[in-house]
């Protein structure tokens, strides 16, 4: 693992580079983290997955976006366009060092960022989505509940009015200890998990649940069918594991790590994902993935 600071126009971004073990990489992955506190709670899982991928011959780059982690800038200075610029800078760094096929690997709102970045990148891409957020607008409404949850019922409406007024006036608002600028709110709220078929290879879509026999949500199934109707191959499944991005304690999801590696290996082997995913997929796995 090689930590370094990547120079960008607005400062520097902290990155972790995991070189492929054993020589030239067979695949390169750029990890795009989730939003706010979900990013911090997910660091352990992202690190474990990156190490597993590197041991399997993949090259992985993790980046702290503007205002996040050890990167320069405050979170309140971040914008959606600025984060897209960070993705482009990380992509350029990775492609300058590897000619391996590229996968954008996103978690939660990081999947929205991956989808928005895709048209800006020159080469065909594969996508690995972990518990993807489908709509930035709906996600932003969920984030706002954190702001309003602590307010008394009698003042909740006034609190909602205040944040709208602050954003309209160009002022930052604070949610769960994070100052958030209007530009970031606007960009996030406009983001949708949609992909154009041109330049898109395959999509691995993995979600987590602790319930036996869990299925994808109706909203996720609908979005997947929309992508497939556009000619994009989507391999989708629900694997057993905790929602580590929101749990109180740091948790891991070993089945998610194994399924992600199996899906990436299926890209190279040409085999169906269900033949390699390391579990008894059969009817259950094929039912979700459309195989």
d(CA 206, CA 197): 20
Helices (H), 56-177: 80-97, 109-117, 136-149, 156-168
Q: What is the pLDDT of residue 268?
A: 81
d(CA 178, CA 185): 12
DSSP per position, 137-169: HHHHHHHHHHHHHTS-GGGHHHHHHHHHHHHHT
* 2-135+198-289 fold: Rossmann fold (3.40.50)
In the predicted model, residues of the chain with pLDDT beneath 50 are 152-154, 156, 275-291
d(CA 2, CA 88): 20
pLDDT tens digits, 211-246: 999 999 999 999 999 999 999 999 999 999 999 999
pTM: 0.90
d(CA 94, CA 51): 17
Domain boundaries, the chain: 2-135+198-289, 140-185
Q: Is 122 helix (H, G, I), strand (E, B) or coil?
A: coil
Residue 134 CB neighbours (<10 A)? 19
> CA angle 8-11-16, nearest 5°?
70
């Amino acid at each position: 693992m090689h930590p370094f600071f990547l120079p960008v126009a607005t400062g520097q971004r902290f990155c972790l580079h995991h070189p492929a073990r054993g020589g030239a990489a067979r695949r390169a992955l750029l990890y795009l983290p989730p939003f706010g506190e979900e990013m911090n709670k997910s660091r352990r899982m992202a690190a474990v997955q990156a190490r597993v991928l590197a041991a399997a011959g993949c090259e992985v780059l993790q980046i702290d976006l503007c205002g996040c982690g050890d990167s320069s800038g405050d979170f309140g200075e971040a914008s959606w366009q600025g984060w897209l610029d960070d993705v482009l800078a990380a992509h350029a760094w990775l492609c300058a060092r590897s000619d391996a096929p590229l996968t954008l690997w996103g978690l939660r709102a990081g999947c929205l960022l991956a989808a928005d970045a895709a048209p800006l990148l020159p080469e065909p891409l594969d996508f690995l989505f972990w518990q993807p957020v489908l709509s930035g607008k709906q996600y932003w409404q969920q984030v706002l509940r954190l702001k309003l949850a602590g307010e008394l019922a009698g003042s909740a409406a006034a609190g909602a009015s205040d944040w709208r007024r602050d954003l309209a006036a160009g002022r930052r608002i604070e949610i769960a200890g994070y100052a958030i600028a209007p530009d970031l709110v606007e960009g996030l709220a406009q983001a949708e998990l949609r992909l154009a078929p041109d330049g898109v290879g395959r999509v691995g879509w993995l979600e987590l649940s602790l319930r036996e026999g869990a299925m994808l949500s109706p909203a996720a199934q609908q979005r997947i069918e929309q992508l497939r109707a556009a000619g994009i191959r989507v391999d989708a499944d629900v694997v057993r594991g905790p929602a580590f991005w929101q749990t109180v304690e740091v948790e891991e999801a070993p089945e998610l790590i194994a399924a992600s590696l199996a899906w990436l290996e299926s890209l190279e082997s040409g085999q169906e994902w269900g033949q390699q995913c390391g579990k008894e997929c059969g009817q259950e796995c094929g039912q979700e993935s459309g195989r």
